[in-house]
Structure 1
Amino acid sequence: MIPTLAGVALAPLLLWQGRRVRRQALRLPEAAGAREGEVGSGALCLRLLIVGDSSAAGVGAASQDEALAGQLSRALAQRLGGQLRWQLLGCSGHTTAQALAQLRQAQGLQPADAMVTALGVNDVSAGLGPECWLQQLAQLHALAVERAGVRYTLHSAVPPMHDFPLLPQPLRWWMGDRAASLNQALAQQLQACGDRGMESFALPRQGGHALPDLMAADGFHPGPAGYALWAEALAERLAREWQAVGRHL
C-alpha cells in the first residue's frame, strides 16, 4: 500500500489530475433497455437483484442485453438450467451509500434470492475508508434481505483501477492502491460469512493496462466484450455458491 506520507506529498498533483480527468473524460450514457426481465426456460431457478454504479448500469454498452445485467442473467440461467428473473438498480456516479439509499427508496422492488453488487469505484474516488465501506456493504446486504428476501449476496470486488487507461500516473497508481485496500478489507471480513462472498476479476492486460478491445471508448468502463468476461466470472461463482446455499435451505 502507498504510505500515508506519500499520499500527502502527492495530494496537490492527485487533486489536479482528478479534476482534469473529470473535465476531459468522455461521458457515455447508461445502457438502454428494460431493467428487469426473464431469461432461460423451464422451472424458475433464481431471482436475481443487481445493484451498483455505472458499471452495473451498463455504461460502455449500447443495450442492457450486452451489458452486465443481460450477460450475467443469461450465463447464470445456462449454468443453473432453468428460468431466471432479474432486476437492476444501477446509476452512474453512485457510491455505496447512494446505492443503499436507492435500494431503500426503490418502488416496485421484486423478490430476489440472490444479489450481485458492483460498487466501490466512486467510493475510491471519494476517499472513503475501508471501515466505512464495509459497514455500508453490510447494511446493503441486510436491507436486501429485509426488502427483497435475498439469501445470498456476491460482491464484485472493486476493479483494479491501476489498469484503467483513462487515468494518468500517479493518479492511476494511487487509486489502484486504494481499491486494493478496500478489497483486502472486504475479503477479510467475509471469511466467516456464509451468506455473502466476494469475486475478484481483472480484464486481461497489455502494456500495463486492460486490453483496449475489452474497454469502452472512455477508457474507464468495460465494453461489451469486457462485460461478457466479467459476467462469466460472476456467473461461475454465483452458480456454485447458490447451489451450496440451496443444499442448506
Structure 2
Amino acid sequence: DRLHAMPQEEFDTAVVSIGVNDVTGLNRASTWTENVRLIVQLLTEKFGVRRVYLSSIPPMHLFPALPNPLRWWLGLRAKQFNVLMKSVADREASCTYAPIPYSPELSGIAADGFHPGAEAYRVWGDYVAELIQGGVAE
C-alpha cells in the first residue's frame, strides 16, 4: 500500500526486507509468495528499479523470546518462506535473493530476544552492500 501511495520516481536498486510479520501472522505461503512477486513488479514497473534484492527472513528459530515449540515452528515457517522468496527471485530477471549470513550466536539478537540487534544489522547491511557492489556471489 505504501508503494502504491508513493509518487512515481526512478530508482536503480531496491532492497526488500519483509517476512517476519507474515510468518507470525500466519499468512498463507501462496498469498505471501504472490505479494512478494507483486512488490517486485511494482518496483520494476512504477519505479524503474533495475535490480531488486530480496533479503532473507532472519533465523527465527534462534529468537530466545519465543518459547519452544513455537520458536521451532516459526523458525521452520521462516525457512520455508525463504525458499519461496528465493523461488520468486529465481523467476524474476530483475531479482537477486540475498541470504543474509546471520551468525547463530545470540549476540546478534536485540535485548528483547525477538528483533535483530546492532550486530545483525551490521552483518545485513554489509552483506547487501557487497551484493550491490558486486562483491558477493549469489
Same fold (TM over 0.5): yes
Q: Which has the higher strand share?
A: 1
Q: CA deviation at 1:219?
A: 1.4
Structure 1: give runs of 5+ residues left out of the alignment.
Answer: 1-100, 242-249
Does the C-alpha gap of structure 1 residues 147 and 193 become closer, same or farther in structure 2, counting only changes over 3 Å?
closer
Structure 2: give runs of 5+ residues left out of the alignment.
Answer: none
Q: CA deviation at 1:110?
A: 4.2
In structure 2, C-alpha distance between the alignment counterparts of 1:202 and 1:164, rounded to whole Å: 16
Q: Tell me if structure 2 keeps the 8 A contact 1:145–1:151.
A: yes
Question: Which residue of 180, 188, 210 maps to 2:87?
Answer: 188
Amino acid at match of 2:2: Q
Which aligned segments of 4 or more residues in structure 1 are displaced greater than 6 angstroms? Answer: none
In structure 1, C-alpha distance between the alignment counterparts of 2:77 and 2:114, rounded to whole Å: 16
Q: CA deviation at 1:136?
A: 0.6
Q: Residue 146 in 1 paired to residue 40 in 2?
A: no
Moved more, 115-124 or 139-148: 139-148
Match of 2:106 in 1: 211
Q: CA deviation at 1:202?
A: 4.2
TM-score (norm 1): 0.50
Match of 2:6 in 1: 106
Q: Residue 178 in 1 paired to residue 73 in 2?
A: no
Which is higher, the Rg of structure 1 or of structure 2?
1
Q: What number of residue pairs does the alignment pair up?
A: 135
Match of 2:35 in 1: 136
1:159-170 equivalences in 2 (<5 Å): 159-170=58-69
TM-score (norm 2): 0.87
In structure 2, C-alpha distance between the alignment counterparts of 1:198 and 1:120, rounded to whole Å: 14
In structure 1, C-alpha distance between the alignment counterparts of 2:14 and 2:92, rounded to whole Å: 15
Q: Tell me if structure 2 keeps the 8 A contact 1:203–1:211.
A: no
Match of 1:225 in 2: 119
| Identity %, equivalent residues | 33
CA RMSD of aligned residues (A): 1.8
Q: CA deviation at 1:215?
A: 2.2
In structure 2, C-alpha distance between the alignment counterparts of 1:149 and 1:112, rounded to whole Å: 6
1:5-44 equivalences in 2 (<5 Å): none
Q: Tell me if structure 2 keeps the 8 A contact 1:124–1:178.
A: yes
